[in-house]
Structure 1
Amino acid sequence: MTFAEEIKRIRQRSFLSQEAFAKEVNVSFSTVNRWETGKTRPNLMAMKSIKGYCEKNNVGFEQLEELWLSAEQEARE
């Protein structure tokens, strides 16, 4: 599963639109759209917001975190 697919899965498991999820994690609708299409990935602050949302709503975050960390590692290499 890709990062884009995983972020979309988290949003859909919460039965939220991209706009509603964006409000929950304090980003714009277009930002969530770019994440889900694979154009961009969240920065550290956005990942903290997503993690907080997941913890508050009992949604698994581990897979998303692993994908984000591996992508960050690849970007440094």
Structure 2
Amino acid sequence: MMTPSEIIDVREKRGWNQQALAEHVGVGQPTVSRWETDKAKPRGAALKILKALSQSDSAGNE
């Protein structure tokens, strides 16, 4: 699982708006909005992509 703040962090570190993150993950912008407001949780392929993006952030900061 990823928390809403982790999802926002992934997006903001790239300078993306919700629409840009949605396009990279393969979902609609309303879905990203629901994730960021804790009204829904990312699952399946979307969660894997978000985790990969998060891990690439961590690797780049070491």
Q: Same fold (TM over 0.5)?
A: yes
8 Å CA contact retained: 2:7, 2:50: no
Separation in 2, partners of 1:3, 1:30: 17
Deviations 1:7-27 (A, max 9, x none): 001100111000001001111
For 1:24-63, what aligned pairs fall within 5 Å after superposition? 24-52=24-52, 54=53, 58-60=56-58
8 Å CA contact retained: 1:26, 1:49: no
SS in structure 1 of the partner of residue 27 of structure 2: coil
Whichever of the two has the greater Rg, that structure is 1
8 Å CA contact retained: 2:4, 2:37: yes
Percent identity between the two aligned chains: 34
What RMSD over aligned residues (CA atoms) do the two structures have, in Å?
2.1
8 Å CA contact retained: 2:35, 2:42: yes
2:19 equivalent in structure 1: 19
Any stretches of 5+ residues in structure 2 without a counterpart? none
User: Using CA pairs below 8 Å that are at least 6 residues apart, which structure has the higher relative contact order?
Assistant: 2
